[in-house]
Amino acid sequence: MLGEFFVETSQVRYPVMVKRGSIEQSLPELIPRKAHRVFVITEEMVWQMHGHRLAPALAAFGDRVKVLHFPGGESRKRLSEVEALTDQMVADGGDRSSVVIGFGGGIVTDVAGFAAAVFMRGVPVIQVPTTLLAQVDAAVGGKTGVNLVGGKNLVGSFHQPVGVIIDPDVLGTLAVREVRAGLYEVLKHGVIRSAELFTMMEQHPLQILGQQTPYFDQAIADSVRIKCEVVSADEKEGDLRRILNFGHTIGHALEAETQYKLLLHGEAVAFGMRAATHLAVRLSTLEPETGTRIIEAIESYGAIPSLDGITSDALMARLISDKKTVGGEVHFVLPTKIGATTIRKNVPDDAIRAAIEASL
């Protein structure tokens, strides 16, 4: 079912609306009438393509609306850009009653969320994600932040939005590669939490890649529901939220090894999911036939760029410095069946190496 889901933590409860047309229909209700300024943080290209869709929500605010263009790109997801944005917010008359709307991909929603978290010690943010990855992952859950020279997302804050508007219509302009990268994350949600979602994705890859309704919309809605459930049960990444990191341990190592340039995040996660599945079979947490199903489903969404020249030695070395190591231990989220996982540490190096080699 498409519709409205909720993130509900000890501190907050907010709606996450998944519906075509929700930008016009649901965003207006989320912006507090008394906001002195409404700052839309967006990328110029996204604004040109889809900005008109915000008109019904913004009309009531007249010249209290300020559109701030963020250049976009991982290299610009930095504190200096947050400083520039918040300086501009002060110059434009922003105060504690301001509201921020993050309108763009995951980079924009991370930066807009962080700017809102720190501006005047925190103002509300509404997230309107425009990439599939941001819709099913980045914009839901309240993690915000920017990169340091030393690594990705190393400065940030938990700042839950007051609402998230997910409108699949904006995805029609997204590059196919970006759609595919987002779909790998959707598949991840199926593997960790929903046999039903996984099976639908396994059976309808062409329709889903082609953004055909009802399959595509259903995949987004199921994925968002799962993210909402996991975040609600565990806001700040204890054991439950950690299951969302399926594929991320080795995926992060691969992203770092390729300097964040060769692969999109979702593509690195696809590789990581393949390796974690091989590892799960090797460690007997997963039946081999189920492992084959997972790997075939990932492959049915298309290939990731060639990894020629990447070695298991290099990835093993990267794993050691991954920030998901806790107390010096590497944690792996391993499937036990479709829809369920276990978390393992102290996994022998030779098993990890063999799983990586089987995936390269």
Which residues are at the interface with ligand NAD (CB under 6 A)? Answer: 43, 45-46, 49-50, 72, 74, 77, 104-108, 110, 130-131, 133-134, 137-138, 141, 143, 152-153, 170, 173-174, 178, 265
| Longest Cα separation, the chain | 62
Nearer to ligand NAD, 188 or 278 (CB): 188
Q: Of 322, 334, 330, 195, whose CA–CA distance to 274 is shortest?
A: 334
Nearer to ligand NAD, 50 or 282 (CB): 50
At closest approach, how far in Å is the CB of 265 from ligand NAD? 5
Query: Residue 99 corresponds to which tokens in the numbers above?
Result: 């509201």
At closest approach, how far in Å is the CB of 78 from ligand NAD? 11
Nearer to ligand NAD, 72 or 291 (CB): 72
Q: What are the catalytic residues?
A: 121, 143, 185, 227, 237, 241, 245, 248, 252, 265
Nearer to ligand NAD, 153 or 342 (CB): 153
At closest approach, how far in Å is the CB of 349 from ligand NAD? 28
Query: Residue 8 corresponds to which tokens in the numbers above?
Result: 């509900």
- Please list the helix, strand and coil fractions of the chain in percent, rounded to the nearest 5, in that order: 55, 20, 30
* Cα–Cα distance for residue pair 72/62, rounded to 1 Å: 26
At closest approach, how far in Å is the CB of 250 from ligand NAD? 16
Partner residues linked to 156 by β-bridges: 145
Nearer to ligand NAD, 132 or 352 (CB): 132
Which residues neighbour 14 within 8 Å (Cβ) at sequence distance 6 or greater? Answer: 6, 7, 160, 161, 162, 163, 164
* Cα–Cα distance for residue pair 12/200, rounded to 1 Å: 32
Q: 183 near 168, Cβ under 8 Å?
A: no
At closest approach, how far in Å is the CB of 153 from ligand NAD? 5
Q: 140 near 7, Cβ under 8 Å?
A: yes
